[in-house]
Structure 1
Amino acid sequence: MTALSIYQQHDRLLVAVDCIIFGFDGQQLKALLIKRSFEPEINKWSLMGGFVQQDESVDAAAVRVLQQLTGLENIYMEQLGCYGEVDRDPAGRVVSIPYFALIKIDEHEEELLEKFNAKWYALDKVPKLIFDHNRMMNQAIERLQLKASTQPIGFELLPEKFTLTQLQNLYEAIFESSFDKRNFTRKINSLGILQKLDEKEKVSSRKGAFYYLFDRDKYNKLQHEIKKFI
């Protein structure tokens, strides 16, 4: 029996990727959802997804789907696992590999969101999604919280320059908790991975707050010493 005949004996199924896309608007952590344009579950809210093509890896498929929706490249993304329940998609036998991605919310292309009928939802306002997409969303939030506690992935959600208040607002949104401002500032400064600028943000207060940059080179040198980020 040839290898080809052995392969032909087995059932074939579709492989898809689904992307949980997070953004931060300065106050709330949000997820980007689309209104599904075809059956089954037409006009219901969904994650952005697509089928893996014959000539691409699953990672490449996720990159393609993210670029189609946001217009962005070099997005931080991470594979979450595999969802393969037999009846998860009523249209056919589909195995889905979900990814979570982090983008700067003001950098995506607005026209693409309109094209895909996409909308940002605060995490506590996410509607019921199709299939098992709510499970994927919850898993992505848990993974984000885990990674954000030990690695500086939160900076992927912030503009290049930010205030300490904006940084604290972000981490409070990620962990759904309040932090003491003095302790938070002391902890962040103790890591030695922020560069303070002379420029101030003066919209929020008359006195203004200094802007900071995340120093990735310093972090790369110190990352083995930093066991806990927040």
Structure 2
Amino acid sequence: MTEADFLKAYDPAAFPRPSVTVDLVLMTVRGGALCSLLQQRQDHPHKGSWALPGGFVGPDEGLDAAARRVLAQKAGLPEEEAPGGWLEQLYTFGAPDRDPRMRIITVAYFALLPEDVLARAVKTGSGLQLAPLRLAEGEAIDAHLAALGPDGTPLPLAFDHEIILKTAVLRLRGKLDHSPAPFALLPKRFTLRALQDVHEAILGTPLNKPAFRRRLLDKNWLEPTGERESGTSYRPAELYRVRQQEKRSVAVQGGMTL
């Protein structure tokens, strides 16, 4: 039997065929807290709960294409403003009971975006909220994570999205020492104080200022611009930028370092 004969006679219904979705963990730092974009569900199941922007993958659609489509349709970010070539796959979640409708496997994507990008998505999108995430420093994956509403109380999360969010937070914390990805949350030129604020928001704990600056400068990721910040009521701090060789390992689009 040739392969063509085998494929012609093959019965696709011989095995169960679960559906596949993509879910997007879009994170930023706002008000000194690590936040994620959430959308309130308008339909059952979990109607009224909060979920990551997501959707089903079409039968003729690739995973990355589905993620970009969801980014535009549900997160309110047109493709020209999307993170382009940098939309990292986080993990695949496939517990048999993760969705009460049927067997659905989801591929979670993870990205860091500047606050103004997600704030604009909340303003123009439907039922979107930028929720601060509360997870203690160094917590294990089975620890409780809370996504907080405007009044500071935890939002009810749909499906297994608490697990997905915890996985994303721990992935991000793991990147701090070996990846320039967190620079995506900063403008092209930034102070060491702003950089420390981002690290503290991600880790959920204050850091020793001299030790933090010494460690970051020792990594040789940064270079001084020779400029200082303006419009401050105190002594203006020196501005830094990411070294060019570090930029090659991440995508740059629209003034956004990823």
Q: Is the structural similarity TM-score above 0.5?
A: yes
Q: Give, in angstroms, the shift of residue 188 of structure 1.
A: 1.8
Q: Give, in angstroms, the shift of residue 108 of structure 1.
A: 4.1
Question: Matches of residues 140-179 of structure 1 in structure 2 within 5 Å?
Answer: 140-179=168-207
Matched with 1:48 is: 53
The residue identity in structure 2 corresponding to 1:91 is R
Matched with 1:137 is: 165
Matched with 1:217 is: 245
User: Which runs of 5 or more residues in structure 1 are unaligned?
Assistant: 222-230
Indicate conservation of the 8 Å contact 2:175/2:181, yes or no: yes
Residue 35 (str. 1) matches residue 49 (str. 2): no
Structure 1 distance, partners of 2:131, 2:118, is 15
Which residue of the other structure, out of 95, 100, 103, is the alignment partner of 2:105?
95
Q: Give, in angstroms, the shift of residue 92 of structure 1.
A: 2.4
The residue identity in structure 2 corresponding to 1:201 is E
Identity of aligned residues (%): 32
Which residue of the other structure, out of 117, 123, 136, is the alignment partner of 2:127?
117
Structure 1 distance, partners of 2:88, 2:246, is 23
- Secondary structure of 1:63's counterpart equals helix
Matched with 2:92 is: 82
User: Which runs of 5 or more residues in structure 2 are unaligned?
Assistant: 135-145, 148-154, 250-258
Structure 2 distance, partners of 1:154, 1:218, is 12
After superposition, give the CA deviation of every residue in 1:14-73 in whole Å (9 maximum; x if it has no partner).
100111111012622111111112221222111110111122211221122223313332
Could you say if the C-alpha distance between residues 44 and 203 of structure 1 is closer, same or farther in structure 2, counting changes exceeding 3 Å? Answer: farther
Residue 185 (str. 1) matches residue 185 (str. 2): no
Indicate conservation of the 8 Å contact 1:128/1:134, yes or no: no
Indicate conservation of the 8 Å contact 1:200/1:211, yes or no: yes
Could you say if the C-alpha distance between residues 6 and 141 of structure 1 is closer, same or farther in structure 2, counting changes exceeding 3 Å? Answer: same
After superposition, give the CA deviation of every residue in 1:134-183 in whole Å (9 maximum; x if it has no partner).
01111111111112221111101112221110001111111223221112
Give the structure with the larger helix fraction: 1
Indicate conservation of the 8 Å contact 1:88/1:94, yes or no: yes
- Secondary structure of 1:141's counterpart equals helix
Structure 2 distance, partners of 1:116, 1:23, is 19
- Secondary structure of 1:185's counterpart equals helix
- Secondary structure of 2:240's counterpart equals strand
Could you say if the C-alpha distance between residues 90 and 113 of structure 1 is closer, same or farther in structure 2, counting changes exceeding 3 Å? Answer: farther
- TM-score with structure 2 setting the length: 0.77
The residue identity in structure 2 corresponding to 1:18 is D
Q: Give, in angstroms, the shift of residue 209 of structure 1.
A: 1.3
- Secondary structure of 2:225's counterpart equals strand
Residue 195 (str. 1) matches residue 204 (str. 2): no
Q: Give, in angstroms, the shift of residue 111 of structure 1.
A: 5.4
Q: Give, in angstroms, the shift of residue 120 of structure 1.
A: 0.8
